Structure formats: structure tokens, C-alpha cells
Chains A and B, each alone.
Chain A
Amino acid sequence: MISHPISPVKTYFLVWLTLVGLLLLTLGSAYLRLGWLNGAINLGIAVAKALLVMVFFMHLRSSQTVLRIVAGAGFLWLAIMIGLAWTDFGAR
């Protein structure tokens, strides 16, 4: 049997509090005039929130390596799709 460690309830609530904090941060920052930084902050916070959900709520922290590879592959192929499309649409 593969062992499945069970996180304490406290961990889940802390992750949730962080997620809500990040939501307020991204919302608040959107009302500051920061130029290109607005978009970068929004995207950075979205990535952080997604990672928190995937690592803690979806248990990638403690899951088999193959699951992390599959999860990563999804995003890798997304990056390839946008990256290759960029060579055309980005240059028009």
C-alpha cells in the first residue's frame, strides 16, 4: 500500500486563509495605478493560489511522483501551445 499522510485540519484552514488573503491582495492591487506591474501581480498571485490549491488541497505535496509529472505535463503543453502560437500571432 502507498501511504497517504493525513494533514491536520489546521493546515487546510491556514491554506484557505492564505488564499483569501491573496484574493484581497490581487483585488486591492488592481485599484492601484502600477502600469504593467498590475498584470504581473495579478498573474503572479493567480499562480500562487493555483499552486496552493494543487499542492495542499489536491495533495500533490504527498502524492506519487507520476501524478506531479502528469499535472506538470498539462501546464507544459499549455506553455508550448501559447509559446508556439506566439511565434505567429505575437509577431503580427
Chain B
Amino acid sequence: MAKELNIAAQFEDAGQQRAVADLGIWIFLATEILFFGVLFTAYTFTRYHHPGAFAAASRLTNVVLGSSNTAVLLTSSLTMALAVRAAKLGRRRILTAWLAATLVLGLAFLVIKAIEYTLDYQQHLVPGINFTYAGPDLLRAQYVELFFYLYFVATGVHALHLIIGVGVVGSIAVLAARGAFSKAYFTPVEVGGLYWHLVDVIWIFLYPLLYLVARA
């Protein structure tokens, strides 16, 4: 019986096992907050000391693609939440469908991001490769470039998290289609969902800090 429900030997019951899995993933997510936190800290002080350069740099980002991607990611969180709900209710087909939707939205985000990077490259915004800034002030150009270092590291590491997320959601979708989950056992769906939502939360902060600094 315990084996059918995928309960490991050290746990009393499915509830205890789930509680431990939830705690484990949340501790990991807390470390992720700090992992990205370093970048947010660097951003905070560079922007504080060079507000003009950051305003000028932010205007060079692609606000249409950035905003579209925010909408795509927020929607993917909805489909992921609905997938977890379907898993809790033991509805296999609906679960698989919502996971597939999440996967498609995640891929859409990555495609849009790739297009955006291509446009950034064509506009000579990539530090270390082809960065050029035609501003009047040489000192400012330095900090505009620093903004784009932060932009590429932050969005790049975020995209890496999303690629991992797409892999996780894809694997869970295959398992779900094969009937690996039930009302009594759906820990991977829940844990994968929590990771997916946190990647969304990180983007929620990156979006205004990178794209909306000084649009007016």
C-alpha cells in the first residue's frame, strides 16, 4: 500500500511526506531569493549613485517585448496553479492539459527573450561584445554599460531558471499523462509548481527595474 502511494520508509504517512517536501522546496526557494538578491543589491547601489545613466539605459530596453513577456509569465503561473489544483483533485487529463499549457507559455517566454536579445545585439547593447553608447558624456556611457551588464546577467540567469523549469514541467507532464499521479500522490507537481511561481516572482521584480525606470 505504502509503495503504491510512493511513501518513503522514513515517513508516517503521505501528509507528513508532503509537508517535508514543501519545506524542502521552500528552503531552496529562500536561497534562490538570496541568489538573485545579490544582483538586486548591486542594482540598488549602482542606480542610487548613477540615476541618470540608469534612466538613459532603461529607455534602450525593449519595453514591448519585456511587457509581453511579463504577461506571458503571469499567465503561465495561472496555468501552473490550475495544474496543481487538478492534481489535488486527481483529474489526470486536465492536469496534463494545464501542464502542457504552462510548458508552451514557458517556451513562448524563451522565444520572445531570444528575439529581444537579437534586437539588443543589433542595437549594440551587449557589453563585452559590441557595446556602443552614443551619449555625450563618457562617464555616463560607462554606467549605461554597467546597467546592461546587470540586465544580461539577471535576465540570462533568469532565463536559465526558466529553461530548467521547462524541463521540469515537461517531465512532470509526461509522468502525468502516464498516470503517475493521484489524489494521494502529486508531490512533484506541487514542488515543480512552487519553483515555477518563484521564477515568476523574480521576473515580477526584474521587469520594472529593467524596463520602466524612466519612460516618461
Contact = CB atoms under 8 A, between A and B. Distances in A.
A64 B19 contact: yes
A57 B77 contact: yes
Nearest to B33: A74
B113 to A, nearest CB: 17
A30 B44 contact: no
A45 to B, nearest CB: 7
Contact of B27 (A63, A70, A89): A70
Contacts of A49: 74, 204
Query: Mostly helix, strand, loop or mixed at chain B's interface?
Result: helix
B45 A71 contact: no
Contact of B207 (A32, A46, A64, A74): A46
Interface string A53-70: 110111000011011001
A6 B88 contact: yes
Per DSSP, chain A at the interface is: helix
A23 B74 contact: yes
Contacts of B30: 70-71, 73-74, 77
Nearest to A38: B216
A50 B85 contact: no
Which of A1, A15, A33, A45 gathers most chain B CB within 10 Å?
Answer: A1
A43 B208 contact: yes
Contact of A92 (B34, B49, B70): B49
Given A16-B74, A57-B77, A6 B215 contact: no
Interface size class of A (residues with CB under 8 A): 35 or more
Interface string B128-158: 0000000000000000000000000000000
B77 A66 contact: no
Nearest to B15: A1
Interface in B179-216: 193-194, 197-198, 200-201, 204-205, 207-209, 212-216
Q: Which 4 A-B pairs have the closest CB atoms?
A: A74-B30, A1-B15, A42-B208, A74-B33
Interface of A: 1-2, 4, 6-7, 9, 12-13, 15-16, 19-20, 23, 26-27, 30-34, 38-39, 42-43, 45-46, 49-50, 53-54, 56-58, 63-64, 66-67, 70-71, 73-75, 77-78, 81-82, 85-86, 89-90, 92
Given A58-B197, A77-B34, A89-B45, 19 more contacts: A4-B88, A12-B82, A12-B85, A23-B70, A30-B212, A31-B216, A38-B212, A45-B208, A53-B201, A56-B81, A57-B81, A58-B198, A70-B23, A70-B29, A70-B30, A74-B34, A78-B34, A78-B37, A78-B41
